[in-house]
Chains A and B, each alone.
Chain A
Amino acid sequence: MNKVKSIMSWNAFPSLLLFLVFLGINGFITGGLSLSFFKSFTATNAAAVCVAIGVTATILVAGTDISLGSIVSLVNVVIVTLCQKGYAVLAAVLIALGCALLCGMINGFIIGIMRVNPLLTTFATSTAFAGIALWILPYPGGSIDFSFGDWYGSSLFGMIPMPIVMIGILLLIWGIVRNVPAGTHIYALGRDIKKAYASGINVTGLRFFVHTFAGLAAGIAGICISANTCAGSPTVGSSMSMNSIAAAVIGGVSLNGGTGGISGGIFGAAFLSILISIVVSANLSSVVQSLIQGLILLVGVVFSIIAADKELKQKIKHLLKARGGMI
């Protein structure tokens, strides 16, 4: 019973529940869930999950990052352009990953060291990064050697699909950070920046690290998307930044910082992805699709916020108790 309770009060529980329910609905609509569905689902949506992990990390320190979508586009464009120029795929990928890290560091420098508001900073940098992407590749096009796509479709040791490995790399880094003092410091910083500073926490360094981590996450997301599509587009990530923030909130991560965890971002992003795939596979006319998507998103956020609201829960409990007494 205690275990059930601790799961129920877990921040990411509502998003997990939403994900599972909608996974079931999806199975109902498409007639059963198959292994191939999961494979293509993870391959398509690993990028969204990676971006959500990055954004969640920045939200935990009471910041935010809306430039990640632009970094994803930039990484995609860099990989495609370098491949066209005859670089080996691996070299292109590593250079692009370096670019993403650099972008994250720029964000971290302006937010951490120059102390500018994160939302405004990342808006400005996202304009700049998207501009670079558009400058390098003005029109969608180009292609990457299909062996890259095959590698992405393969499995590590024949067991773990590559998309999961990519997410796993991020989780591993985050897991290491959580188990050193800096992990606790991140939460302290998110809860109350002044008290954190007074306790001797390196605020500047942590902010810098978190945004660099977000840049890395966006870089990995860009690799996933490039491998999945094997084509270049300067606007491929433009809708990702905002969606990932919504995903984090559905996953129980408080935008005020210090509450929630990476798992919330992952399940939130998974829920959003399954939502999109349901709306597409439900055979609705394309005209109503985006309206329905928006409405379900709204309901999802309201649901997860109400589920996280302790006061409201108490009220409901009281109500239930009163009912029970009467019966």
Chain B
Amino acid sequence: MEKIKRLNNPYVPAIIGSIALMVLGQTLSSGFLSMNNISSILMITAILTMASIGQAAVIISGDSGLDMSIGAIMSMTALFGPMIVIGSGGVSFAFMIPATILMGAIVGLLNGIGVQILKIVPLVMTLIMSNVVNGFTIFITKGQPSVTVSHELQSISQTLVGPLRILPTAVIVILIVLEVFFLRKSRYGRMLFLVGNNCNAAQLCGISSKIVVISAYAFAGASAGLGGLMLVGYAGTAQMNMASGYTMLSVAAVVIGGTKLTGGKGTFIGGALGSLVLILITTILQALNMAAGLRSLIQGIILIAILMANSREPKLRQ
């Protein structure tokens, strides 16, 4: 009985789902679990994980918090990041990382200010912000992105560290560090949970809930900014709105990972597991060589099934 209780943690559906999907993938197309395919799956999962970490922080902050501008931020930094050229390739790559984080954080900060100070509902504020960011990207690039991705930036998806490539490894390290030392153990992490659970109580405890929530949005923007740089490093080319699909995928990943949209609860690792499930579904459907429309239909149906199994709200009677 104890064991069953311990099993009943939020990660279980995502873990079971990803194992089942891997088995399904292997039976449907042999070679699905080859090292090459696994590492490419992990690569995309790592990028989606970066997006979902930020999304999770915003969702935890409560008050129907949601960041719909993650895709726009990622598209923006994917275009702007590689434009930074300072000295040699290595030096400019070293500058790209803080620069993209900063760009994302600025957009996130604006989101947070809009949500907390202008009192605009998060869904709408971040939605409009994504329009503004997309418009800004078109304005700066004149609608003709001409990005040359430097060799150093591309190497993040090619260099090997042990059995894994460098990008997933880095994201796994970032993920664990953030989960343990930022979300669980830090002062800020505890404040974030308290604000998400009960904003008034947090206020009465002397926590400035506004600043906590605004920094959650800034954090989401920052992690999305870094995710955009990873995406362009992996893809090798940049296009307008190349990451727009990541917005809702990140929300879905966080929810599949056991985080409730009401806030106050959640983990980053759950979001990573949810990302793995979503990417596995996409990869299996792509491996089957289906038409794009049919693929999207099946993806939607699987998503509905996961939601119905995983995140039904309790009956009103209780």
Q: Give residues in A with beta carbon < 8 Å to B.
A: 64, 110, 114-117, 119-121, 123-136, 138, 193-194, 197, 203, 234, 242, 245-246, 249, 254-256, 286-295, 297-298, 301-302, 305-306, 309
Give 6 pairs: A residue, B residue, CB < 8 Å, sorted on A. Answer: A110-B308, A124-B307, A134-B293, A138-B292, A242-B127, A246-B124
Instruction: Give chain B interface residues in 120-156, CB to chain A under 8 Å.
Output: 120-121, 123-125, 127-129, 131-136, 138-139, 142-143
Given contacts A291-B132, A293-B135, contact A119 B316 (CB under 8 A): no
Cα distance A193–B301 in the bound complex, in angstroms: 28
- B296 interface residue (CB < 8 Å to A): yes
Given contacts A124-B304, A302-B118, contact A295 B132 (CB under 8 A): yes
A291:B139 contact, CB within 8 angstroms? yes
- Interface window among B14-22, B230-238, B248-256: B248-256
Q: Which residue of chain B is the closest to A288 with respect to CB atoms?
A: B139
Report B204 CB to chain A, min CB distance, Å. Answer: 20
B7, CB-defined interface residue at 8 Å: no
Nearest B-chain residue to A106, judged by Cβ: B304
Kindly identify which residue among B142, B294, B307 contacts A116, using a CB–CB cutoff of 8 Å. B307
CA distance A158 to B241 in the complex (A): 45
Q: When the two chains form their complex, are residues B123 and A294 in contact, meaning their CB atoms are under 8 A apart?
A: no
Within 8 A of A (CB), among B256-306: 261, 291-301, 303-304
Identify B131's interface contact among A129, A255, A297, A309, CB under 8 A: A297
User: With the chains together, A218 CA to B214 CA distance in Å?
Assistant: 36
Q: How far is the CA of A132 from the CA of B299 in the complex (A)?
A: 11
- How far, in whole Å, are A297 and B130 apart by their CA atoms in the complex? 11
Q: Report if A138-B291 is in contact (Cβ < 8 Å); known contacts: A64-B123, A131-B297.
A: yes
Q: Which residues of chain B have C-beta atoms less than 8 A from A121's C-beta?
A: 304, 307
From B128, B261, B297, B314, A117 is in contact (CB under 8 Å) with B261
Q: Does B200 contact A (CB under 8 A)?
A: no
Pair B138/A132 contact, Cβ less than 8 Å: no
A272, B251: Cα distance in complex, Å: 27
B binding-site residues for A, Cβ under 8 Å: 64, 66, 68, 114, 118-121, 123-125, 127-129, 131-136, 138-139, 142-143, 248, 251-252, 255, 261, 291-301, 303-304, 307-308, 311-317
**Chain A residue with minimal CB distance to B302?**
A124
Q: Could you tell me the distance between the alpha carbons of A6 and B311 in the complex, rounded to whole angstroms?
A: 43
Are B291 and A255 closer than 8 Å at their CB atoms?
no
Q: Which residues of B contact A110 (CB under 8 A)?
A: 304, 307-308
List B contacts of A119 (CB < 8 A).
Answer: 66, 123, 251, 261
* Cα–Cα, bound, A127→B285 (Å): 14
Contact call B132/A125, Cβ cutoff below 8 A: no
Cα distance, A117 to B119, chains bound together (Å) = 23
19 extra interface residue pairs, beta carbon distance < 8 Å, beyond A116-B307, A120-B255, A294-B132:
A116-B311, A117-B307, A119-B66, A120-B252, A121-B304, A131-B292, A132-B297, A133-B293, A134-B291, A134-B296, A138-B293, A197-B317, A245-B127, A249-B121, A255-B124, A290-B131, A290-B139, A295-B135, A298-B132
* Given known A120-B251, A121-B304, A193-B316, contact A287–B142 (CB-CB < 8 A): yes
B293 shortest CB reach to chain A, Å: 3
Q: Choose one: B124, B129, B132, B300; the contact of A129 (CB below 8 Å).
A: B300
Which among B123, B133, B296, B315 has the greatest number of chain A C-beta atoms within 10 A? B296
CB <8 Å contact, B312 and A115:
yes
B313 to chain A, nearest CB (A): 4
- Cα separation A218 to B314 with both chains bound (whole Å): 30
| CB of B202, distance to nearest CB on chain A (Å) | 20
Give A67 to B316 CA distance when docked, in angstroms: 25
B311:A120 contact, CB within 8 angstroms: yes
Nearest chain A CB to B137 CB, angstrom units = 9
For residue B114, which residues in chain A have a CB less than 8 angstroms away from its CB?
Answer: 298, 302
Nearest-neighbor residue (CB-CB) of A255 within chain B: B121
User: How far, in angstroms, from A311 to B129 measured CA to CA in the complex?
Assistant: 26
Question: In the complex, which of the residues A64, A116, A193, A256 has the most CB atoms of chain B within 10 Å of its own CB atom?
Answer: A116
A287 and B139 contacting across the interface, CB-CB below 8 Å: yes
Q: Which residues of chain B are near A256, meaning CB under 8 Å? A: 121
Q: Which residues of B contact A116 (CB under 8 A)?
A: 307-308, 311-313
Asked if A305 meets B118 with Cβ closer than 8 Å, knowing A135-B293, A136-B293, the reply is yes
